């Protein structure tokens, strides 16, 4: 199942338009290239309609908002909807400020989103229309654990059904649901949280997977989450004495680049609820 999803990305080389944040833009581009897709970065309102028109999908990340990028997100999203291209929303830091929260909620309301991907605090903010987060990280009180897993699965399913989109909540335990089924994924390493941008990279990769697998978008989204987590495991296993988070970032991207469909299938650690 996941092997086919990755193979389709590499066979089709989908072009992904990213309106993403300037903290992680280079890593997002490299991660998309590593998985076998091709990135374009553009957030100028006069440019984005043309750019998104030639791409297969749109990844919107609100990590570093400014007025022109908000306009660009709306313009590009509406054009992608007109063309039937999947749109992913990564509501980075929703709940941390009124601007972030309102922007994310407005985009969710005005656009037809294929996927919403964020940490549990960000997703709860969108579900409630307001909330608080610890900057761009999930609040400790919200984190998905084995003790809260049943409630978290029910919440993600309900929100996915309400939003009419695949919802991917990433953290120590990842949840990916279309409202009916929920993948509970346990790949990854805690050290990935010490790298700025692993979530942003995943959003770019996930958009590519969804574009390349239009007939099974839920499985494609789950496959991308497993791939990112497995790459974290592989990258960490190759760390040497003296290596730090910068090296881990590079090793994760290398692991994505070198991952085969068979390795992804064998290493994916998930259950379906």
Question: Distance between CA atoms of 237 and 226, rounded to whole angstroms?
Answer: 16
- Location of structure tokens 């994310």: 104
Q: In what order do the strands lie in the sheet with 87-90?
A: 38-41, 15-19, 57-61, 87-90, 115-118, 166-169, 174-177, 182-185, 270-272
Nearest Cα residue to 193 out of 248, 270, 145, 253: 248
| Residue 221 near residue 206, CB atoms below 8 Å | yes
Residue 170 among known ligand-binding residues? yes
- Sign for the CA dihedral angle at 139, 177, 5, 209 comes to negative
Question: Distance between CA atoms of 28 and 203, rounded to whole angstroms?
Answer: 8
Question: Distance between CA atoms of 177 and 156, rounded to whole angstroms?
Answer: 7
All residues at 6 or more sequence positions from 118 whose CB lies less than 8 Å from its CB, including other chains? 90, 91, 92, 94, 126, 168, 169, 170, 199
Helix (H, G, I), strand (E, B) or coil at 183: strand
Quick one: DSSP state of residue 45? H
Residue 117 among known ligand-binding residues? yes
User: Binding site membership for substrate: which residues?
Assistant: 41, 197
User: Binding site membership: which residues?
Assistant: 41, 117, 170, 197
User: Binding site membership for ATP: which residues?
Assistant: 117, 170
């Amino acid at each position: 199942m996941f092997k086919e999803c990755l193979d389709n990305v590499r066979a089709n080389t989908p072009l992904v338009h990213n309106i993403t944040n300037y903290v992680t833009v280079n890593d997002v581009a490299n991660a998309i290239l590593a998985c076998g897709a091709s990135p374009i970065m553009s957030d100028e309102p006069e440019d984005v309609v043309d750019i998104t028109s030639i791409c297969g999908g749109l990844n919107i990340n609100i990590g570093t908002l400014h007025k022109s990028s908000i306009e660009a997100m709306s313009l590009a999203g509406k054009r992608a909807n007109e063309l039937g291209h999947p749109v992913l929303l990564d509501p980075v830091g929703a709940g941390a400020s009124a601007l972030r929260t309102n922007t994310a909620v407005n985009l969710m309301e005005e656009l037809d989103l294929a996927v919403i991907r964020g940490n549990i605090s960000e997703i709860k903010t969108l579900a409630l229309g307001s909330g608080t987060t610890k900057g761009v990280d999930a609040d400790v009180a919200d984190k998905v654990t084995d003790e809260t897993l049943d409630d978290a699965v029910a919440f993600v399913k309900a929100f996915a059904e309400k939003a009419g989109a695949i919802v991917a909540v990433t953290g120590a335990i990842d949840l990916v649901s279309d409202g009916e089924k929920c993948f509970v994924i346990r790949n990854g390493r805690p050290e990935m949280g010490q790298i700025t941008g692993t979530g942003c990279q995943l959003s770019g990769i996930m958009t590519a997977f969804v574009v390349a697998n239009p007939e099974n978008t839920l499985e494609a989204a789950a496959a991308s989450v497993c791939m990112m987590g497995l790459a974290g495991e592989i990258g960490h296993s190759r760390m040497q004495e003296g290596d730090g988070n910068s090296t881990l970032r590079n090793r994760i991207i290398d692991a994505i680049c070198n991952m085969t469909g068979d390795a992804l299938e064998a290493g994916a650690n998930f259950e379906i609820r």
